[in-house]
Structure 1
Amino acid sequence: MCYDYHGTWENFTGPNAALYDPKSNVSTSSGIGSWIQAGVSPKKLVMGLPLYGRTWKLLDPNVNGIGARAVGKGPEDGILDYYQVLEFNKENNAIVNFDGQTVSYYSYAGGFWVGYDDSITIDWKVQFARSRGLGGYFFWALGQDKDWIISKQASNSWDH
């Protein structure tokens, strides 16, 4: 499971499934690396990826990056399925940001913040799994990818 690294149990925003984290070891690369260093064969490891985003209500809507102070859950009790993230972004004219350090996306609008993956970040993460010789990847949960946007990209990335 390479997700739920951050959520509304914390009082600050963060990427749901950071591939890397330059400020801590709470990341997929660190976790996978630890298992391999401990002697687990990479072929026995499978990378779990989320098809949903984690949401927060920002303490100050003008402070809205990764690590921004938060005061609770955002829309849908703190979790949006991927297709709901797309709807949130469109309906609220959200500002969307890619964070290259963590290989994740986040968006914000109206005092709410969403951390999530899209087909681009999933592509990078599947390529990471493949390059490390992992046994594969899985999604939680497939029904959250309404039009199979992310799952198709992941399949193509794994096969090529």
Structure 2
Amino acid sequence: MSRFLIVDTLADISSFRESLTRSEAGGFCSFEGWVRHTNDGRSVSGIEYVAFIPLAMSEGQAILDETQARFDITTSLAMHRTGYLEVGDIAVWIGVAAPHRDAAFRACRYVIDEIKKRVPIWKREHYVDGCVEWVACHQDAESGHVPNRMDESPETRV
């Protein structure tokens, strides 16, 4: 079973957490990314996530494998949603178990930052005023640079 999941309906988060329980783990860190009601000063009613699933699954698993090699952790799991999500819905969930808390915190942060940079998932924001726009999902964590082709749909990008 892959430890990186793409799902179109919310899965049971408690089962994800339970699947990471290990006797050698003394710390657990999780992150939930939620759909918020505003972005760049605009009122949001929801977000539609679209993924190129084969590459998203492969790249997501590669990120978790890198995390395992890079940090002193026991195990990790990540889930990203696709489809239309309403304000307050969980869009992404990450869990990391480790012998010590510091590694769990650092690894969890690494996973979300790498997902945002590398996994081919696009988001289309739906605004309260009726407008719908593709927006940047990815940015360079160090510079804050957002790719400038977000006005195109994922289907037309090369």
TM-score, reference length from structure 2: 0.32
Structure with the higher fraction of residues in helix conformation? 1
Q: Which has the larger radius of gyration?
A: 2
Structure with the higher fraction of residues in strand conformation? 2
